[in-house]
A and B are shown apart, each in its own frame.
Chain A
Amino acid sequence: MAFLAVSSLSKDFYGLKALDRLHFSLEQGEILGIIGPNGAGKTTLFNIISGLLRPTEGQIHFRGVPIHHLKPHQIAMAGIARTFQIGKPFSNFTVLKNVLVALGHRFYPGLLSSAARFEKEAHVGEARELLARVGVEAYQGSIAKNLPLGFKKQLEIARALALDPSLLLLDEPMAGLQYEESERLAGLIRRLQEEGISIILIEHNMQAVMDLSERIVVLDHGVKIAEGSPEEIRTNPQVIEAYIGREERVA
């Protein structure tokens, strides 16, 4: 049984097929890369997995349980966390408070537990540890909107990790990062995998995605056009066509 199984998943936006009968699966502990030109449906796929969008057709099973009808917070509780391509921090909160919101997932369901104080030393300490793990603990007191882009992205990862996820969806985590920043992030992603977290990585930075992923799925116009090891993808003529062929036509 696959850890995450996506089967014949389709999403129509008013007649536009953002995803068209997409099939793929993810094994536990794997890093799966998803690449494709802009508008290929990559972020739509994340939005469906994380419950922000309902699929028009198809199913998603997580550890054998269907999740495509669940709400975003239920999917978060089930252990699927994500980040956003364009960062979505709680802008006016401090960095620490951003992480605390996600730590609260354990306390929100019960009336009594949600009435308890959130700024207890134990919770704050746990949030600090998460910030240290991704390397933004120095900014814990800063207001999130004032952070440089690279740190905003790392903050989002810390917030996602606060859900104690078994599956992490990273939407272009390398975009806009300096070389050293993206190297550090690649190191973090590998460490998370070693800790047993499965990861789906949407990324335009080909070097990074080829280095990190064990398998890669290529989307184009909502259709899976290729799937395989980084080596297979690199030499796949259809992939080269999707990326480069069109540029030739423009030129």
Chain B
Amino acid sequence: MLGGYTITVSITIGIYIILAISLNIITGYAGQISLGHAAFWGIGAYCSALLATRFGVPFWIGLPMTIAITAMIGSLLAIPCLRVREDFLAITTIGINFVVQAVFLYVPFFGGAMGIGGIVSPFSTSSFFWATLIFVLLCIALDRWLVRSWMGLALESLREDETAAAISGVDVVKFKVAAFAIGSGLAGLAGHLYAHFMTFISADDFGFPQSIVILSMIVFGGIGTLRGAILGAVILGVAPEIFRPVLDYRTLIYGGLLIFMMRFQPGGILGDQSLLPRIFRVVRQRGLAPVKSGG
């Protein structure tokens, strides 16, 4: 069986995978760049923590409530994002991140600098691992359903060309809000798991640097693809454990990595047009050819 340390790291990675999948829906599919995704994660975590500690709401009832509330706040916060595109959208989402974090930090209701502690996890660590795994699988299923649906097609058409999408019958405002609602709802799920796993949360956990880490995951793995989001979350989730001796330079390494990827593999490791998937496709075609001719 897995050791306690491995389980802890695995749960963290599971939460990161959910975050990467959720940001990938907003930024990868719908093309709405967000540099403030940790804000939605934080809203989910604080909502979950408050429900649990102030109102004694059990884990399984708090779960749908947290997802719904985060999705609702996410769609409200999307409204200022509707009027801006690209770099201005990036700046707006950074602003949202700082505002949300400041609210957690300075409004006494949210525990101020002390954060919120005393959240009781309903599971043992190993059960928590299995629960997280199930939620990751559910998120993957949701993602697969989304990309095959008309809604997913509408989201991707916004990324490709907003004007062309609009004149093709895509309600731009509705589907942008939908992307933010789904993405922030899933980030709320990640926040719910995080709050109950850590049992203590504070505003520092959900700052701008965390948003960059989540964005790095999908850029590194391959933006706009599910496999890329998962791989990026796994690699960048494991990296701090491996690089623990050089943890102080983590930001430097992430930054360097991002620049390297942008220069040499802008599609990420597993992006559709990246080197590895292309090699894989060639190998698969050649590998299959003899089988076809033989049978």
Contact = CB atoms under 8 A, between A and B. Distances in A.
Contact of B171 (A73, A89, A91, A92): A73
A250 to B, nearest CB: 34
Interface residues of A, number: 37
Contact of A73 (B145, B148, B153, B166): B166
A159 interface: yes
B164 interface: yes
Given A71-B171, A91-B161, A116-B149, A104 B166 contact: no
A93 interface: yes
B287 interface: no
Given A88-B161, A90-B161, A118-B153, A163 B168 contact: yes
B199 interface: no
A163 B164 CA distance: 13
B167 A50 contact: yes
Chain A CB within 10 A, most for which of B148, B166, B168, B173: B168
A97 interface: yes
The binding surface of chain B is classed by DSSP as helix
A108 B165 CA distance: 12
Interface residues of B, number: 25
Contact of A108 (B148, B171, B173): B171
Contacts of B156: 90, 93
Interface in A99-148: 100-102, 104-105, 107-109, 113-119
Contacts, number: 100
A41 to B, nearest CB: 19
B160 interface: yes
A114 B164 contact: no
A73 B161 contact: no
A31 interface: no
Contacts of B172: 71-73
B148 A117 contact: yes
Contacts of A188: none
A101 B162 CA distance: 12
A163 B169 CA distance: 8
A76 interface: yes
Given A71-B171, A73-B170, A76-B169, A104 B154 contact: yes
The binding surface of chain A is classed by DSSP as loop
A233 interface: no
B48 to A, nearest CB: 26
Interface string A217-230: 00000000000000
A114 B149 CA distance: 6
A159 B172 CA distance: 18
A175 interface: no
Contacts of A104: 150, 153-154, 168-170
Interface in B175-201: 175
A2 interface: no
A117 B144 CA distance: 11
Interface in A51-76: 51-52, 71-73, 75-76
Contacts of B225: none
Nearest to A145: B160
Given A101-B170, A102-B168, A118-B148, A108 B154 contact: yes
A107 B175 CA distance: 13
Interface of A: 50-52, 71-73, 75-77, 81-82, 84, 88-93, 97, 100-102, 104-105, 107-109, 113-119, 159, 162-163
Interface of B: 145, 148-154, 156-157, 160-161, 163-175
